[in-house]
């Protein structure tokens, strides 16, 4: 069914129909017949691939199948132009229905459907268990329920920013409607008039452990209506009704729409219909044979099982295209040693400066800053003054904001998401993880990190930012030491592809000076990811540190120097990039100390300790950091109480160095 006799790809057949792009008032008879045939084939594919893999979610895939057929069949997408900037965006939030998604895309010609039937959920295959962005035609990797509508908001907002006219379809399950992030996304869509969004909800009334009404009752229609959406209810297996509702939605620019599609789990196979077991249980080969006979589809289970067993499938990592950026960053701002300002202030000024430069540039990529009701605290209010049209206020809705920020970042938009540490990484860890899975290009700036936050207390002391970020493959972490380095870091990440987490504190910092009193990170200092900055030199060992802790380390260095103890001070602004070569160099210097405003169990000390062990070389090693939640108090008092001030570092060095002299 992937090809037709006349025109090659099945998608090309749909393009020639009068109802393509939902243009005609009614669904044509020829399209209806094609849909009917496809309905059987798609369900046959779902049953076959899940049985061959002995894994998957056939029930929901079959209940969503007719929705997929109408949307993918008639939307503005094409296999030859999967990255066309003006294409419609289709997000499948309930990613476990991947069997249905892969089948319709394969049948339309986005790839050879035989590969899906053979290699679904197989190690090395792109056809993973939940919808993957690496699969042609899939816009966003999903599976963590509740995030799809936020992704849809990101795509819809990108259409406004780029002034492109396309539709966004978000296909969802009923069970996930209990998620709070969906409420955040509904409100966001209404606030920003994202009226090119159409949500279609597979309302089969069953989720993995039972009835949606028993697991958690959700007033789906009422919730969308209360948030200002228009809602249509219909038979989710009636192609004409689905078509008419979508057509009404995309032709009404006054509101986003939610279409509540009443469906049947396991649709078209009598012994599967409305049986909750089949949410996540494939059929046995014998059961699958019976089901395929019932829907009049040829059984080829043995063929695909044999092919799966015999074919070689090497591990291949595929990364989906992201739109390129054209950004000007200009020369860095320089701060003299007499300046007193926070790194968050330097971030705000750098972002303001970059926005000003790019507003004056021709053909510059858009830049956006996303905020969660903290713009003055995180200093993005400076950006807002220069580019109010690029400033996105998401309210106290961090989960939604983190997800849509990730989407914006792959749409050719330089995207900054600034928040407090406990919100920007702690609270939205799962959203940032999914961003990484989607190979986003996001610049996350967290302020108020460490016990540096002070009097706000332990709920706002983000002391695990590095421990969390190092668990997310692909995220690069930068912890600048002072405003000069911060300014250069912001300009650096604006030009570099990939996900970055830039960490700053709350307090004002002295400008770091070199040994003769000049700004160490000023002038012609050039920031490069992975570079270790040797701020002071000595012969008795190495103190490794970063961020505001560098100032404390330098105070300790001065005290120790007066006692005849001379250590190297290394500024490790990119802790995740440390190498064995770096550590071997430090070992030859003598004892190694790590010193940080972070939990000692998961920060720089742990990274360095692991690397020391890998070298197989012996050395004296001491980790100094936060060991527990801290109380409220002034920063200086907390540093002393928690053992991470200059005096504490001096004492620890004396203990070890003194015992060796």
pLDDT tens digits along 432-481: 999 999 999 999 999 999 999 999 999 999 999 999 999 999 999 999 99
What pLDDT shows up at residue 324? 81
d(CA 59, CA 371): 40
d(CA 128, CA 444): 28
What pLDDT shows up at residue 433? 98
**Strand blocks (E) in 137-255:** 168-173, 197-203, 206-207, 210-211, 230-235
Given a cut of 50, whether residue 512 has pLDDT beyond it is yes
What are the tens digits of pLDDT across the range 199-224? 999 999 999 999 999 999 999 999 99
Give percent of the chain above pLDDT 70.
Answer: 97
Place 362 in a pLDDT band, splitting at 50, 70 and 90: confident
d(CA 405, CA 14): 34
Q: Based on the domain organization, do 359 and 302 belong to the same domain?
A: no
Q: Which of 310, 332, 351 is the last residue of a domain?
A: 310
pLDDT (mean) for 253-261: 98
pLDDT (mean) for 632-652: 97
pTM (2 decimals)?
Answer: 0.96
Q: Which of 310, 331, 348 is the last residue of a domain?
A: 310
Only one residue has tokens 């494939």, namely: 282
Q: How many CB atoms lie within 10 A of CB 226?
A: 12
Given a cut of 90, whether residue 317 has pLDDT beyond it is no
User: At how many degrees (to 10) do helices 646-660 and 549-562 cross?
Assistant: 40
Structure tokens at 469: 């970020």
d(CA 115, CA 105): 12
Only one residue has tokens 């078209």, namely: 268
pLDDT (mean) for 353-357: 96
Q: Based on the domain organization, do 384 and 450 belong to the same domain?
A: yes
What pLDDT shows up at residue 313? 77
Q: Based on the domain organization, do 153 and 186 belong to the same domain?
A: yes
Given a cut of 80, whether residue 583 has pLDDT beyond it is yes
More confident residue, 288 or 318: 288
Q: Based on the domain organization, do 543 and 497 belong to the same domain?
A: no
Q: Based on the domain organization, do 298 and 360 belong to the same domain?
A: no
188 in any annotated domain? yes
pLDDT (mean) for 304-313: 91
328 in any annotated domain? no
Q: Based on the domain organization, do 506 and 650 belong to the same domain?
A: no
pLDDT (mean) for 374-387: 98
Q: Based on the domain organization, do 479 and 585 belong to the same domain?
A: no
390 in any annotated domain? yes
Number of domains within the chain: 3
**What number of residues does the chain have?**
661
What pLDDT shows up at residue 659? 58
Only one residue has tokens 């996930």, namely: 176
Place 319 in a pLDDT band, splitting at 50, 70 and 90: low
Q: Based on the domain organization, do 398 and 476 belong to the same domain?
A: yes
Q: Could you tell me if 141 and 434 are in contact, meaning their C-beta atoms sit under 8 angstroms apart? A: yes
Q: Based on the domain organization, do 189 and 101 belong to the same domain?
A: yes
Place 653 in a pLDDT band, splitting at 50, 70 and 90: very high
Q: Based on the domain organization, do 649 and 565 belong to the same domain?
A: yes
DSSP line for 6-29: TTEEHHHHHHTSTTGGG-SSS--H
Which residue segment(s) compose the domain that 505 sits in?
340-510
Q: Based on the domain organization, do 564 and 460 belong to the same domain?
A: no
Structure tokens at 14: 């749909």
517 in any annotated domain? no
Place 314 in a pLDDT band, splitting at 50, 70 and 90: low
Distances (CA, A) of 123 to 106, 287, 309, 312, 478: 19, 25, 12, 11, 34
What pLDDT shows up at residue 311? 87
Burial of 79 (0-12, 13-18, 19+ CB in 10 A): middle
356 in any annotated domain? yes
597 in any annotated domain? yes
What pLDDT shows up at residue 173? 98
Given a cut of 50, whether residue 88 has pLDDT beyond it is yes
Give the chain's end-to-end CA distance (angstroms, integer): 82
pLDDT (mean) for 357-377: 95
Q: Based on the domain organization, do 597 and 483 belong to the same domain?
A: no
d(CA 510, CA 482): 7
Q: Which of 457, 477, 510 is the last residue of a domain?
A: 510
pLDDT (mean) for 179-195: 99
Q: What is the CATH number of the domain that holds 405?
A: 3.40.50.970
519 in any annotated domain? no
**Alpha helices (H) along 438-482:** 465-469
324 in any annotated domain? no
What are the tens digits of pLDDT across the range 280-291? 999 999 999 999
Round the average pLDDT of the chain to a whole number and report it: 96
Given a cut of 80, whether residue 75 has pLDDT beyond it is yes
- Can you give 77-113 as a three-state secondary structure string? CCHHHCCCCCCCEEEECCHHHHHHHHHHHHHHCCCCH
Q: Could you tell me if 117 and 410 are in contact, meaning their C-beta atoms sit under 8 angstroms apart? A: no
What pLDDT shows up at residue 312? 84
pLDDT (mean) for 87-100: 99
Q: What is the CATH number of the domain that holds 633?
A: 3.40.50.920
How are the residues of the chain apportioned to helix, strand and coil, as percentages rounded to the nearest 5? 45, 15, 40
Place 571 in a pLDDT band, splitting at 50, 70 and 90: very high
d(CA 253, CA 198): 11
Say which DSSP state 137 is in. T
Place 4 in a pLDDT band, splitting at 50, 70 and 90: very low
């Amino acid at each position: 069914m992937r090809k037709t006799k006349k025109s090659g790809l099945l998608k090309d057949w749909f393009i020639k129909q009068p109802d393509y792009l939902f243009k005609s008032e009614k669904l044509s008879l020829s399209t209806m017949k094609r849909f009917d045939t496809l309905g059987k084939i798609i369900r046959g594919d779902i049953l076959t691939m899940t049985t061959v893999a002995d894994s998957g979610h056939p029930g929901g895939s079959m209940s969503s199948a007719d929705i997929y057929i109408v949307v993918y069949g008639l939307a503005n997408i094409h296999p030859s132009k999967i990255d066309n900037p003006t294409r419609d965006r289709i997000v499948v939030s309930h990613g476990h229905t991947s069997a249905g998604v892969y089948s319709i895309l394969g049948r339309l010609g986005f790839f050879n459907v035989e590969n899906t039937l053979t290699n679904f959920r197989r190690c090395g295959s792109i056809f993973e268990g939940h919808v993957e962005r690496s699969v042609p035609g899939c816009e966003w990797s999903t599976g963590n329920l509740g995030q799809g509508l936020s992704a849809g908001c990101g795509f819809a907002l990108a259409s406004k920013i780029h002034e492109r006219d396309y539709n966004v379809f978000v296909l969802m399950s009923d069970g996930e409607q209990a998620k709070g992030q969906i409420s955040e996304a509904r409100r966001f869509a209404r606030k920003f008039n994202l009226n090119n969004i159409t949500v279609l909800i597979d309302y089969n009334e069953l989720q993995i452990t039972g009835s949606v009404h028993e697991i958690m009752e959700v007033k789906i229609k009422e919730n969308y209506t209360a948030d200002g959406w228009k809602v249509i209810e219909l038979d989710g297996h009636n192609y004409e009704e689905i078509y008419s509702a979508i057509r009404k939605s995309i032709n009404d620019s006054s509101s986003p729409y939610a279409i509540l599609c009443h469906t049947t789990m396991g649709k078209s196979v009598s012994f599967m219909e409305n049986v909750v077991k089949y949410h996540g249980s494939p059929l046995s080969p014998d059961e699958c044979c019976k089901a395929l006979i019932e829907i009049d589809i040829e059984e080829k289970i043995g063929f695909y099982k044999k092919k799966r067993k015999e074919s070689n499938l090497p591990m291949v990592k595929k990364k989906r295209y992201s739109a390129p950026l054209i950004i000007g960053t200009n020369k860095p701002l320089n701060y003299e040693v007499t300046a007193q300002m926070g790194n968050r202030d330097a971030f705000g000024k750098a972002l303001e400066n970059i926005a000003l430069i790019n507003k004056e540039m021709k053909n510059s990529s858009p830049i956006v800053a996303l905020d969660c009701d903290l713009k003055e605290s995180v200093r993005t209010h400076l950006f807002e003054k220069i580019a109010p049209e690029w400033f996105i206020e998401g309210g106290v809705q961090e989960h939604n904001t983190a997800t849509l920020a990730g989407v914006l970042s792959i749409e050719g938009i330089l995207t900054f998401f600034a928040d407090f540490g406990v919100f920007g990484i702690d609270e939205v860890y799962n959203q940032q993880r999914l961003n990484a899975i989607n190979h986003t290009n996001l610049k996350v700036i967290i302020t108020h990190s460490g016990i540096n936050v002070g009097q706000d207390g332990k709920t706002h002391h983000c002391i695990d930012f590095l421990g969390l970020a190092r668990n997310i493959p692909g995220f690069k972490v930068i912890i600048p030491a002072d405003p000069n380095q911060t300014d250069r870091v912001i300009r650096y990440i604006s030009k570099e592809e990939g996900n970055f987490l830039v960490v700053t504190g709350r307090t004002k910092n002295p400008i770091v000076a070199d040994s003769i009193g000049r700004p160490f990170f000023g002038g012609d200092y050039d920031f490069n990811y992975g570079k270790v900055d040797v701020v002071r030199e000595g012969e008795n060992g190495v103190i490794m540190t970063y961020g505001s802790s560098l100032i404390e380390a330098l105070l300790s260095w001065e005290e120790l120097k007066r006692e005849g103890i001379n250590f190297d001070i290394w500024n490790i602004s990119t802790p995740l990039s440390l190498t064995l070569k770096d550590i071997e160099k430090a070992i030859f210097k003598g004892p190694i100390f790590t010193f940080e405003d972070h939990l000692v169990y998961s920060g720089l000390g742990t990274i360095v300790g692991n690397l020391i062990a890998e070298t197989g070389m012996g050395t004296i090693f001491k980790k100094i950091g936060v060991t527990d939640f801290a109380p409220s108090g002034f920063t200086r008092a907390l540093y002393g109480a928690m053992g991470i001030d200059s005096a504490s570092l001096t004492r620890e060095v004396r203990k070890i160095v003194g015992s060796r002299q």
